[in-house]
Structure 1
């Protein structure tokens, strides 16, 4: 069986060589791209298992690369960037990035994030194969199509809102702690940043709940986390 294939998108030769050497030592296969246009061509033609993406590319900003890839694929994207502000992390993650590592980084951390992304992708693939459609009351998630419906009306969720909803749906009836949710969605990108999680959860509720103040589907457990309520 072939080892996972990674696409390294990085215009800094030293950083690209460091990542490439690290991946080679761990027996990962990889391709490299130094521009946004090249990265899109490689992503389409090679269909990598993970994309390691720098945001500061010379021709196209990395956020635009995330948007373009997300328009046709759910392949895991790990941002590796020198941008350290929360607003940059939020923008990348909300547009579909799966994780975010700030430069400078340790190779051990990078490898841990890669392993976590591969585990999440494998779990999601197996869940979708077993249960291609999730239905709870008037809420329906079509995993194959990546669509969400409430009372047969399609809801237009952001990638981050969709990930949160799928995580809760996959654990319906269970209380998920803030730490579990943030680690499952973003790895350790925000080190359990509960405030940011609450913002994303609030926007999700506005779209799927009739009354966000009296939620039917997503219940808050104050100081602990959230739970998807099972509707008979």
Structure 2
């Protein structure tokens, strides 16, 4: 059973999240501030952390950094901060995803399911060849590092997850529905525009000629394939 740690100082919101998560068979712990959250993470070892950034004792970004110093637990930020710079700061500190308040419970559950599947995918990655080298770029999936022309390339958590799925299936076609389900969740199975956008991002960052990709291949109307 998946254990979730909810970190937020709004009691009504925490209560609603705990009830909804437990109704879907998650085990749930909660913490009202950063210090309590860090202790709970060490003691209870959650599988996922849902973290507000506006905590009473410390900034949520500092909590992310301290969690990352001791664990690779997936962190889903749930915050009223909506400026892109603040989102980037949280993601750069080590958060896996970001959802802005107010949100629907269905969206929260979909994002939570996605980061949980991402963890399982990373475990699968650990059992295969995790270093990929091409003539234009290298990818180390375990270290989460990509380099092109000797320069480090920053990929977002979603871009990493999409790339991981393709690399795990290298040389094989991965259908659009499978990719959407693994990366975004079952409620996004028809959102093929997500794939077009994120594949374009990956090509711009990794391919030598994004208009003529050699590694991130589209099979029209069917899916995508990674060729090493």
TM-score, structure 1 as length reference: 0.68
Cα RMSD for the two superposed structures: 4.2
In the alignment, which residue of structure 2 is the partner of 1:10? 8
In the alignment, which residue of structure 1 is the partner of 2:170? 172
The answer to whether residue 211 in structure 2 is matched with residue 210 in structure 1 is: no
Paired with 2:215 and 2:46, the residues of 1 have a C-alpha distance of: 35
Contact 1:10-1:35 within 8 A present in 2 as well = yes
Paired with 2:15 and 2:169, the residues of 1 have a C-alpha distance of: 40
Change (3 A) 1:197 1:43: farther
Counterparts of 1:69-148 in structure 2 under 5 Å?
Answer: 74-80=72-78, 96-98=95-97, 100=99, 105-106=104-105, 114=112, 117-128=115-126, 130-138=127-135, 139-148=137-146
In the alignment, which residue of structure 2 is the partner of 1:182? 180
Equivalent residue of 1:75, what SS? coil
Q: Deviations over 1:133-175 (max 9, x none)?
A: 2335345432332222456x35322233322221211111223
Paired with 2:188 and 2:198, the residues of 1 have a C-alpha distance of: 13
Paired with 1:43 and 1:22, the residues of 2 have a C-alpha distance of: 21
Contact 1:78-1:97 within 8 A present in 2 as well = yes
In the alignment, which residue of structure 1 is the partner of 2:30? 32
Paired with 1:31 and 1:122, the residues of 2 have a C-alpha distance of: 21
Paired with 1:64 and 1:192, the residues of 2 have a C-alpha distance of: 37
Q: Which moved more, 1:170-179 or 1:113-122?
A: 113-122
Paired with 2:194 and 2:58, the residues of 1 have a C-alpha distance of: 27
Paired with 1:159 and 1:111, the residues of 2 have a C-alpha distance of: 20
The answer to whether residue 154 in structure 2 is matched with residue 157 in structure 1 is: yes
Change (3 A) 1:59 1:218: farther
Unaligned residue ranges in structure 1 (runs of 5+): none
Paired with 1:110 and 1:97, the residues of 2 have a C-alpha distance of: 13
Contact 2:61-2:90 within 8 A present in 1 as well = no
Unaligned residue ranges in structure 2 (runs of 5+): none
Deviation, 1:125, is 1.0
